[in-house]
Chain A
Amino acid sequence: MVLKLVVWAILAFLLMPLVIIVLFSFHASPSLSFPFAGFSLRWYAEVLGNAQLGSALVKSLTVACFTALITLILGAAASLAWLRLGHRGRALLEVLCLTPIALPGLFVGVSLLVLFAQARIQLSTATIVISHVVLALPILIVAMRARLALFDPSLEEASRDLGASQMQTFGKVTLPLIAPTLIASAILAFAVSFDEFVVTSFVAGTETTLPMYIWSMMRRTVTPLINAISTLALVFSVAILFIAWLIGHLRRRSAVAGRTVS
């Protein structure tokens, strides 16, 4: 009984902010507190009408997409290496990957800024992407590690044994099997990049990403616009997860259907 109450309390604690933000994003008045004064889409209209906000959003999406793509390619290569490494190699890779995660964002931001200055690289969208890859890659490798540990290397041997070349084995066995892991990791990298603030503020130069824009907006006044933006971001992430699930589901169904019809 007590345990049940605790569970519900924790759930409420986790979900209440979400519910409140979504609710107030539809609030008809600018007030951010109860009593609730009725529903309206005015904040959404204002969000969509705000050109600066729009360009910051586009910037953030662009950065997040490139970060996800680059991290995915590097992560896939790293994970293939991981599958072929022995215990010692894995342990070494783990130490190398875990250390950057533990570093404070402040430190990473400053060191990247110094590095870019030393190398005479102009601060731009590209430097933001590079910085986000630096942040996302270790997280991604750590996230993939547990799932790749379940990958059975004898599957690759079985494929070779059945007549598939190394390239065919990669395309027909390894890649399809690690694809869900890679996609999940790419989504994670996207998420890390999309709301990154500390490091971005060092390396963004004159560029503005969505978190930076919201922060600058908040410095003036706390506006209900924030609620609408947050709700949109929430819908967006849920949609991505749903699409990922749907792709997997449809692929399986079409594979079986394709054969029984022919």
Chain B
Amino acid sequence: MTIRAPVIEITAAQKMFGSFQALSDINLSIEQGEIVTLLGPSGCGKTTLMRLLAGFEAVTAGTIRIDGKDCAGQPPERRPVNMVFQRYALFPHLDVFENVAFGLKVKGTPKAEIRERVQRMLHIVQLDSFANRYINELSGGQSQRVALARALVNGPKVLLLDEPLAALDLKIRQHMLVEMKRIHAETGATFVYVTHDQDEAMILSDRVVLMEKGRIVQVDRPETMYAAPKSLFAAKFLGETNLFEAAMASDDASGMTAVTGSGLRFHSSIVPAGELRGKAIVSIRPESFRFNRDNDTTQSATGQVEDVIFIGSRSFYTICLADGVRARVQVQRSTRTSLPKPGEKAEIFWDSENVVILPGS
């Protein structure tokens, strides 16, 4: 186990563009060697936050410390961070070798060392034989690797990645995610990764920083954030979920209970983020519903199957539980158990550790 020290510390950071508040009250600490994703819809401020770290923008208030040093007034070229740009921003007048060597050259690194380091980096990104290619002769995936190599060859304390896979098609994207993890393991750099894609965030990250309207709404490990979202926004943004409007009924040692207008009771054993009173919203993931009863299952509801969508390994059921109350149920394909058909009555079951109760509006 390596010693972990915060490599980035953001304290009470704010950013204004004119009268528009792009970021407010940002507090975040990132440790050496972590992969942290800044996740959120477009316009949530995640790219602005990354540009603050890179030095392209300055904070309006608050401090950013990189590697222990306050970097206020420090221009991008003097910061121990490097960035992978969304559209790569590779230099079209230079070939692959010169692109990767650019950072070392401007720092006056000896020629022999440049050759060695560039070649080693090209080897890591598996582009050994592409050194003399021009940028317009590369595919999207190859350009992506050059962009990674060009940033990582400088040995940055932090690698900033601004939606690096957004311009690639789905298949290459999945392949590059695996590559990214391997390169992270080989270089040991800290990755700060901006994306609006929840799948990328969940596959890559040690921690996810979820942002909305210029604020950080939740920082957690991806599994935790998926299982226990702290807000309606988090529940909806990460994965698919069923939402039921309800009212708080009881709160005791075993957890909380909320009841919908139609009388459905949901009991949750997850400790809520804040105090819950009055109106509430119940969130349950489609895969948390089952058609078969477990030994200790206590919660269930009966309804009618409205619709079935079959997607190979999984099927999605829409169950009408009461007037206007529908549950989406995801089940794995199985040849053992018999599943209900459209129009039939069905009973669904769920467990209290999968019920999230959130404050209602």
Interface residues of A (CB under 8 A from B): 152, 154-155, 157-165, 168, 172-173, 176-177, 255-256, 259-260, 262
Contact = CB atoms under 8 A, between A and B. Distances in A.
Interface string B86-106: 110111110101100011001
Interface string B245-283: 000000000000000000000000000000000000000
Contacts, number: 70
A157 B93 contact: no
A259 B99 CA distance: 13
Contacts of A262: 111
Given A152-B89, A154-B87, A259-B97, A164 B106 contact: yes
Interface of B: 54-56, 75-77, 81-83, 85-87, 89-93, 95, 97-98, 102-103, 106-107, 111, 132, 150-151, 154
A158 B77 contact: no
A176 B95 contact: no
Contact of B102 (A159, A177, A255, A260): A159
Nearest to B83: A161
Given A152-B87, A177-B92, A255-B95, A162 B102 contact: yes
Contacts of A165: 75, 77, 106
A262 B55 CA distance: 36
B82 A161 contact: yes
Contacts of A161: 54-55, 76-77, 81-83, 151
Nearest to B56: A157
10 contacts: A159-B91, A159-B102, A161-B81, A161-B83, A162-B151, A163-B77, A163-B106, A177-B91, A256-B95, A256-B132
A155 B103 contact: no
B89 A160 contact: no
A76 B319 CA distance: 67
Contacts of B102: 159, 162, 164, 172
Contacts of A255: 95, 98
A104 B153 CA distance: 57
A158 B106 contact: no
Contacts of B82: 161-162
Contact of A157 (B76, B98, B132): B76
Contact of B106 (A157, A162, A256): A162
A176 B55 CA distance: 24
Given A162-B154, A163-B103, A255-B95, A260 B132 contact: yes
Given A161-B54, A162-B106, A173 B98 contact: no
Nearest to B97: A259
Given A162-B106, A255-B95, A260-B132, 12 more contacts: A157-B54, A157-B76, A158-B83, A158-B89, A158-B91, A159-B91, A161-B151, A162-B82, A163-B103, A163-B106, A168-B106, A262-B111
